[in-house]
Copies of this chain bind each other. A is one copy, B any other.
Amino acid sequence: MKSNRKIYLDYASSALAESANPGAIHELGVKEKDRLEEARARVARVLGAHPDEIIFTSGATESNNLVILGMPRGHFVTTNIEHASVLEPCKARGKATLVEVEKNGIVDPQKIQRALRSNTRLVSVMYANNEIGTIQPIREIGKVIRHFNKTHNTRVYFHTDAVQAVNYLPINVEKLGVDLMSFNSAKIYGPKGVGTLYVRRGMPLHQIMFGGNQERGLRPGTENVEGAVALARALEEVEKIKEREVKRLTKLRDYFFKRLPQGVIANGDLEARLPNNVNITIPKIPSDLLVIELSAHGIMASAKSACKSGDEAPSHVISAIHPEIKGEIGSLRFSLGRETTKSDLEKTIRALSDILKKLKKWYD
């Protein structure tokens, strides 16, 4: 009906009437605000959280930065295999203890406990590692922290970077015992440029960017409603198929590991590991070269962490679990997903064998 057509005169808030500014108080703004709050409630429901505990950000890097840089002063505890978006802000702040993981790429909760001090403010341990897929004992670390808080009459907060875990592991924040949890949309089959942060009520977090009062004052800037809705949708889809995908991919992963050529070193624990992660080191052969050779065979794999590719620095994760090699060794990561089939892995194994045969002439 022509007469019901809205007259949109709020182009300065948002140029597109169909995605008005959720800060606007007119009908279309209120509608967008409702969509945003519905997305927030949907994310909260999956995490077992309150909607007001969910903050939308531009991605996991921002979520992690908000936690590390937005926490009040004090001593921080983290591990030596965290993602750069945790390690680098920790370095920028200073005063962080990096607990070393064991040879299998898993941190010992007792070592976290021993790193706690009277002025410790935050423990940040990733749920699953992005390079080698090892799963950290988040519940156990949570217990250690709660025990420390009780016996020392203090309040150490617990953050986990769950970016790689969301697809495959339980993410109920109460059961995990975390106070803060980061993840993004791009790793759970949603669009890029949107992430989220669970912030338990009562956290003393402060904003790291300044402007409007969006997202409970923790994240200024016009809200990306489309992104938030897409993230919520992606998260619900993940929950729906999680159990099935874990079973299917675990089988594929174990099959892949078994069929790998001789002489290949598997990196990280083979059990406490994401069902979709295969990370190997092939002695003497640069992993970048392997990725390029595989790509020429139509197979997309990764050397170290893709987020750090293009750097010259070796992987800090591989260096952490293979300290004897002093970081000169590369690693090759195959990360499986929804479209991966057994036939894909068979082709990959054949291609890898061919490539190794060719390259070993040069590198042996």
Name which residue of chain B comes closest to A334, CB basis: B9
Given contacts A14-B187, A193-B194, A300-B8, contact A292 B26 (CB under 8 A): yes
Residue A109 at the B interface, CB < 8 A? no
Given contacts A17-B339, A85-B221, A221-B58, contact A306 B10 (CB under 8 A): yes
CA distance A211 to B311 in the complex (A): 12
Q: Which residues of B contact A277 (CB under 8 A)?
A: 12
Partner among B4, B61, B347 whose Cβ is within 8 Å of the Cβ of A220: B61
Spot the interface stretch: A45-53, A87-95, A173-181, A355-363. A87-95
Partner among B26, B64, B85, B225 whose Cβ is within 8 Å of the Cβ of A192: B225
The proximity string for A residues 27-57 relative to B, scoring 1 for CB distances below 8 Å and 0 otherwise, is 1110000000000000000000000000000
CB distance from A24 to the nearest CB of B (A): 4
Residue A83 at the B interface, CB < 8 A? yes
CA distance A64 to B222 in the complex (A): 13
A23 touches B227 (CB 8 A): no
A298 touches B4 (CB 8 A): yes
CA distance A338 to B14 in the complex (A): 12
B223 touches A192 (CB 8 A): yes
A61 touches B211 (CB 8 A): yes
A12 touches B89 (CB 8 A): no
A336 touches B9 (CB 8 A): yes
Partner among B26, B164, B225 whose Cβ is within 8 Å of the Cβ of A294: B26
Residue A285 at the B interface, CB < 8 A? no
